[in-house]
Amino acid sequence: MREWDGMNEEATIPVGGAAARRWAVDVATMAVIGLLMGFLGPFASERAPIVGRYVYWLICMVGGGLIGVVLDERLDRRVPETWRRVAVVSVLMTPLVSLHVLATEHLVMGGPFGWAGYGRLLWQVWPISLAVMVVRALVWRRLPARVETRTVVAPPLPEAEAAFRRRLSAKRRGARLIAVEAHDHYLKVHTDAGEDLITLRFADALSELERAHGWRVHRSWWVAAEAVEAVRWRRGAGVVRLAGGLEAPVSRTYAPVLKGAGWF
């Protein structure tokens, strides 16, 4: 994790680099498990020549594990709870991984390639797939792939927000503007003096805040630059942490704006 402020700057991990690093960690994890399985030689594989045994398990674990990784990434938003997703993925990946193992067994070990062998493998592959996905989940709980940075932004000129501020209540008209959140036909304006609900189209609010120091980070969020405290990016989406503990989502569409501002 890298942090910086206006006086002390360090390099950060770009989004593409973080994705490549994540895949590298996944492949390395599967390879280590493959080497361990080659050493243990389960399911009578200890009878095979040592080189062939290790090659067989490396191909099975890396190839099969990556099938699970792809499924896990696909289901990340539909099944956000980690351990429930691990269970679902382990079941869904088993038929494909069993076919992969059967083909590897045939090519590397000279085993038969048929439905009888495939049915036998299903019951052997599922517990291993479950264990592999559990190990991967534990690895990423210790190594979260995220980017978090900090910068210092000069406060906006008063006139840049003047038209928009006139829409707020007297109590919050002079407060520090933190974010604007779209809700159907009205806007929730977040300030350090509380929230205001105003009737205004989000597009019109963006127009009035065009000269203010801030960014649109999501289809329904605009954030003041000076209110941003940190940015986290993971799996193609991000979160902005704002002053007062407020958090706003960052979509892939608007991520380049924050990247151009030096947040990742």
CATH of the domain at 208: 2.40.50.1020
CA 107, 24, 122: angle at the middle one, nearest 5? 40
Domain stops at, among 86, 118, 142: 142
Coarse DSSP helix, strand, coil percentages of the chain, rounded to the nearest 5 percent: 50, 15, 30
CA dihedral 197, 241, 147, 23 (to 10 degrees): -60
Q: What is the count of structural domains for the chain?
A: 2
d(C-alpha 85, C-alpha 76), whole Å: 8
Give pLDDT, residue 77. 79
d(C-alpha 203, C-alpha 171), whole Å: 25
Q: Are residues 162 and 136 in the same domain?
A: no
- Indicate whether 1 belongs to any domain: no
- Indicate whether 171 belongs to any domain: yes
Q: Are residues 20 and 138 in the same domain?
A: yes
Q: Are residues 97 and 190 in the same domain?
A: no
Give pLDDT, residue 46. 83
Q: Are residues 108 and 207 in the same domain?
A: no
CA dihedral 60, 65, 70, 72 (to 10 degrees): 150
Tens-digit pLDDT profile for residues 59-83: 999 999 999 999 998 888 788 888 8
Q: Please, which pLDDT band fits residue 224 given cuts at 50, 70 and 90?
A: very high
Question: Could you tell me if 90 and 133 are in contact, meaning their C-beta atoms sit under 8 angstroms apart?
Answer: yes
143 or 264: which carries more pLDDT confidence? 264
Domain stops at, among 142, 167, 183: 142
Residue 225 token pair: 């630059």
Give pLDDT, residue 142. 62
- Indicate whether 148 belongs to any domain: no
- Indicate whether 214 belongs to any domain: yes
Domain stops at, among 142, 174, 192: 142
- The answer on pLDDT for 37 being more than 60 is yes
Q: Please, which pLDDT band fits residue 17 given cuts at 50, 70 and 90?
A: low
Q: Across the chain, what does the average pLDDT equal?
A: 83
- Indicate whether 152 belongs to any domain: no
- Indicate whether 205 belongs to any domain: yes
- The answer on pLDDT for 16 being more than 60 is no
- The answer on pLDDT for 153 being more than 70 is no
Give pLDDT, residue 11. 35
Q: Are residues 121 and 183 in the same domain?
A: no
Q: Which range of residues forms the domain containing residue 176?
A: 158-260
Q: Which of 68, 88, 77 is nearest to 27 (CA)?
A: 68
Q: Is the pTM of this model over 0.75?
A: no
- Indicate whether 4 belongs to any domain: no
d(C-alpha 139, C-alpha 28), whole Å: 11
In the chain, what is the greatest distance between 2 CA atoms, to the nearest angstrom?
Answer: 82
- Indicate whether 54 belongs to any domain: yes
Q: Are residues 77 and 109 in the same domain?
A: yes
d(C-alpha 258, C-alpha 250), whole Å: 9
Tens-digit pLDDT profile for residues 108-134: 888 788 888 788 888 889 999 999 999
d(C-alpha 57, C-alpha 37), whole Å: 6
Residues composing the chain: 264
Q: Are residues 37 and 118 in the same domain?
A: yes
Tens-digit pLDDT profile for residues 176-211: 999 999 987 899 999 999 999 999 999 999 999 988
Question: Could you tell me if 5 and 15 are in contact, meaning their C-beta atoms sit under 8 angstroms apart?
Answer: no
Question: Could you tell me if 147 and 13 are in contact, meaning their C-beta atoms sit under 8 angstroms apart?
Answer: yes
d(C-alpha 94, C-alpha 125), whole Å: 6
- The answer on pLDDT for 4 being more than 70 is no
d(C-alpha 210, C-alpha 208), whole Å: 6
Q: Please, which pLDDT band fits residue 233 given cuts at 50, 70 and 90?
A: confident
Give pLDDT, residue 116. 80
Q: Are residues 167 and 256 in the same domain?
A: yes
